[in-house]
Chain A
Amino acid sequence: MGQDMLSTLLSAPNVETWAFYLLTTLSICLAIGVLVDRVVIRSGFILIGVFGTISGIFLLLSAQFLALAQIMIYAVGITLMVVIALMLTNPRLEREQLIVYNDDSLPPLAKLFASCKRNLNLWVAVLSFVTLYAALIGENHWPLSDQAVSQDAVQTLGEALVTNYSIPFEFASVLLLAALMGAIMLAKGEPKHKVEDGDLTIVDETKKQENNLALQR
């Protein structure tokens, strides 16, 4: 099996195939890096790298416009996300706390539920991966067109967005609008002024001691 894969790889017909493997490897490595890196800001910057490599894959598929849109939207968008992460989190004060769950006393079924609840993100990820994989592999019903790929798909894309796909397009706009309004509502929420004096002095102490903890970690 491994031999076969290696021989297919080595007998890859052209540069594009090689470039595809290179870009996918790079993007998977960077994606793992995003998950593994404990510094929020740094993983944000690595995420930009992931999207950069994905835009490289778009370029290989001769979707120039999509590749550039990917760079333009995600480079700026993730920078904003990083900035927000910088402003909302305080990496110099928060030390990673090892959370110990003691649900030994629970019955087995409840224990299972508790673990599912804790690892909800994991299950959502697994579920979406399985769904996507099934959709990609299960039925081979992707419409194939024998038209030549035009060099700039801008016109085709624009026409498709206002004719065939106008409802999904509008739906996405409405969703974004709702998200914007939600963000404004959240941002306008009343701030909590409930810091006790004792806590504040402790925070100041830790600030002095652990200056720059996040960077040295």
Chain B
Amino acid sequence: MFSNGDEIFKISRLTIVWLAGIFTIVWMVCWGLGIALPMLLTSQLGDKAALTNEILRAATPVIAILVFIPINAMFMVLIERRALALWTVRKGPNRVGPDGNFQTAADAVKLLLKEDITPTGADAVMHTFAPILFFAPSVFGAVPLLAAVTNNHPLFHVLNLPTGIFFVLAAGALPVVALVMAGWASNNKYSLVGGLRSAAQAISYEIPLVLSLITVCLMAGTLDLVKITEQQAGGILNWNLLGGGALTGLNNALAGGGAKALATSYFMGPISYVCAGLLVISLIISFWLYLTGACAEINRIPFDLPEAESELVSGYNTEYSGMKFAIFFLAEFTNLFVVSSITTVMFLGGGDNPIPPYILNNIPGIPQMVAAIRDSYFCSTLHIINPETFFATLWVIAKVYGLVIFAVLIRGTLPRFRIDQLMAFGWKRLIPLSLIVFIIVVFAREFVICHG
């Protein structure tokens, strides 16, 4: 049936092994710094270790992110190249190491050892500062997401901001500055045009992106990422993707509430049913609007006008080499990961299991399994595994990397836009559509009790 079944098997094996490796390493770092070391210090020093423990706990999330970003980017580059090779019927990287799996490690070493060139006539300070400004937001912008994707694990609890999604959006607005800066400081016409294009593109596509997220925040009534995730708990019908909680009444009815639950949630009868349907359609459109806007925001392929190879050599990063180019590269892949995480948290229920609990708890064996994990030595004494966080994180990983693979599929499928098509698509299609969706949601949500 599959002529390339062998390749698919190799990619799946690679993904599972690498992901297991990445997240085991990151979690061991978190656990060691945030839980094991404080426990050890407290047992040895007693109360004197309190301050050190506080500092260690505060540093844990940041160090976890800094450990995570490079190995994750290495994995994502490799999986992107292999998946693209699969979809365009080519051979991917296949020379370095078994099946070419060490290719990105070799690339990373090469990039770090390359000479760092500043072109003549370039503004040296800004030329150096641009990659830093491009990379920094993807580190601190990801911070509030950590609490949301780990089901509010105590270690990451401090990071939850009351203005969570707005913080992420504000951090996401900064890289544009860096791209214009890089383009201008390089003293190269191609770079300059790339920078200008990225400014035009990011500003046009930020409007539908923000409007689609505002729609979700409006349904949720909060900007807090953890609260948004918690509202969506309890199965696929509660997810913001399907009506932002408009189907909660249906979910309650299926869970055993019957017709009474339906009458409570859809209190206006037929009007409410129509509005719930409208909400479902609007939120699905919002989801696609967000994905499109995000793709443009992070310069992924149908929208990679700022570095269009066929027109602009390499756009804003033409004049970059060595470490600085590596930082640009790293930040691009981290941004893809961050965007997928935002989508997961805002639309796909964060770490929520798509199977609702009233079905899951009736499957023989699953409640016993969770109870066994909770009672085990690893969970109760060492706190290595916490069932709430563990399963939530597994779902988050599956959803996020599903979206990443989807972005790679888009890259392998669609051709690049032309700049006028890009602008026309953004201003004449996406922005009106997002405004219409927003207004429909504003009115329709009055007739349905959402997330109730």
Contacts and interface: CB of A to CB of B under 8 A. Distances in A.
A9 to B, nearest CB: 26
B121 A65 contact: no
Interface stretch (B106-114, B171-179, B265-273, B357-365): B171-179
A79 interface: yes
Contact of A79 (B122, B169, B180): B180
A45 interface: yes
Interface string A65-101: 1001101100110111011001100000000000000
Contact of A151 (B162, B166, B174, B192): B162
Contacts of A87: 196
Contacts of A216: 121
Given A42-B123, A76-B206, A215-B121, A64 B161 contact: yes
Interface string A33-58: 00000010110010010000000000
Nearest to A72: B170
B176 A75 contact: yes
A76 B176 contact: yes
A132 interface: no
Interface in B189-224: 192, 196, 199-200, 202-203, 206, 223-224
Contact of A42 (B126, B170, B187): B126
B225 interface: no
Given A48-B177, A215-B187, A83 B199 contact: yes
Contacts of B94: none
B187 A86 contact: no
Contact of A41 (B167, B169, B184): B184
Contact of A154 (B184, B196, B206, B223): B223
Given A64-B162, A64-B163, A76-B206, A71 B180 contact: no
Contacts of B202: 76
B181 interface: yes
A17 interface: no
A83 B177 CA distance: 10
* Size bin of chain A's contact surface: 20 to 34
B163 A65 contact: yes
Contacts of A75: 170, 173-174, 176-177
Contacts of B126: 42, 45
A29 to B, nearest CB: 15
A65 B196 CA distance: 29
B196 A83 contact: yes
Contact of A86 (B176, B192, B203): B192
B405 to A, nearest CB: 30
Contacts of A86: 184, 192, 196
Nearest to B176: A79
A51 B169 CA distance: 17
B234 to A, nearest CB: 25
Interface in A128-175: 151-152, 154
A215 B206 CA distance: 31
A38 to B, nearest CB: 13
A45 B182 CA distance: 11
A42 B126 CA distance: 8
A76 B173 contact: yes
Interface in B137-173: 161-163, 166-167, 169-170, 173
A25 interface: no
A206 interface: no
Given A64-B161, A83-B196, A86-B192, A76 B121 contact: no
A67 to B, nearest CB: 8
Given A79-B199, A152-B162, 9 more contacts: A45-B181, A68-B167, A69-B170, A72-B170, A75-B176, A76-B173, A86-B196, A212-B187, A215-B121
Counting from the closest, the 8 A-B pairs by CB-CB distance are A152-B162, A72-B170, A68-B170, A71-B170, A212-B121, A151-B162, A83-B199, A75-B173
